Every structure is written in C-alpha cells, then in structure tokens.
C-alpha cells in the first residue's frame, strides 16, 4: 500500500488472532502474572451497620502459613457506624491464604450491636 500503511485486512486478521488467544486461554493479563515477592491483600469488613468492637484477637491470622503482615484497623472500643467498615487487613503470599487467615480471625472478632447489645462476629 502506498505510504507504508497496513491494509485494512491485516489489522482484522491481527484482532482475530487476539480473540483466538483469549478463547484458548493463551492471552496474558496482569492478574495472571506471578512476580517474585508479590503479596496479596484481603480486608475483613464488619457486617453490622452499627456496632461497637468489644475485642479483637488476630493471633490465628499472624500464625497462619504464608501470612506476612496483619493490621488491625479497628481497636476495642471503636464504634462502627456502617456495614463494611474495615476491621482487619492481611497480606499473604497467595490470595487464598490471605482469605483463609481472615476467615480464622472472623470467629475471634466480637462486636456488640450498639442498640441491641447482642454480641456477634464483627
């Protein structure tokens, strides 16, 4: 083609090849990469819209396999004013290990509903 440009059919063939790679799961995405030293994070949110944190024990998450850091974002005595309030965060070597560590801590986090006073997992 004059001017050094590509023919219209060339670009369509290239896009069709990309679609084929996606359909056969050969395409590379940023989420698919595993870099050395990469950590995954997970955050535990309180399911109650209004509660008070009565106690937090993160020792199970800290001892979990693959966990590198645990951060308590809410302290005992803190008042939670909306559902989804971030209570704890975990960094681990895989996404599954981070979620498992939070699941262990979920049973150890206790909150009392501000109005009803009933204790339950926060």
Q: Please write the tens of the pLDDT for every residue from 99-121.
A: 999 888 665 555 555 444 454 55
Residue in the structure block whose two tokens are 């803190």: 78
Domain ranges of the chain: 37-121
Question: Among 80-84, 92-96, 106-110, 114-118, where is mean pLDDT lowest?
Answer: 114-118
Overall pTM surpassing 0.85 (yes/no): no
Count CB neighbours of 17 within 10 A.
Answer: 9
pLDDT for res 71? 94
Average pLDDT over residues 80-108: 86
Any idea which architecture 37-121 has in CATH?
Alpha-Beta Complex (3.90)
Q: Please write the tens of the pLDDT for every residue from 23-79.
A: 566 666 676 677 788 899 999 888 888 888 888 888 888 999 999 999 999 988 888
pLDDT for res 55? 82
Alpha helices (H) in 3-115, listed in sequence order:
8-23, 59-63, 95-106
| pLDDT above 80: residue 18 | no
Count CB neighbours of 57 within 10 A.
Answer: 13
- Residue closest to 92 by CA, chosen among 45, 41, 30: 41
CA 40, 62, 86 angle in degrees (round to 5)?
60
With cut-offs at 50, 70 and 90, classify the pLDDT of residue 20. low
């Amino acid at each position: 083609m004059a001017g050094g440009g590509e023919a219209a059919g060339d670009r369509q063939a290239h896009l069709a090849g990309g679609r084929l790679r996606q359909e056969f799961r050969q395409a590379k995405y940023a989420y698919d990469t595993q870099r050395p030293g990469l950590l995954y994070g997970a955050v535990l949110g309180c399911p109650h819209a209004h509660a008070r944190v009565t106690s937090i024990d993160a020792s199970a998450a800290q001892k979990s396999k693959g966990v590198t850091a645990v951060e308590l974002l809410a302290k005992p005595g803190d008042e939670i004013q909306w559902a989804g309030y971030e209570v704890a965060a975990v960094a681990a070597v895989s996404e599954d290990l981070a979620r498992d560590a939070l699941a262990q801590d979920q049973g150890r986090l206790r909150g009392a509903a501000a109005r009803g006073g009933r204790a339950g997992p926060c």
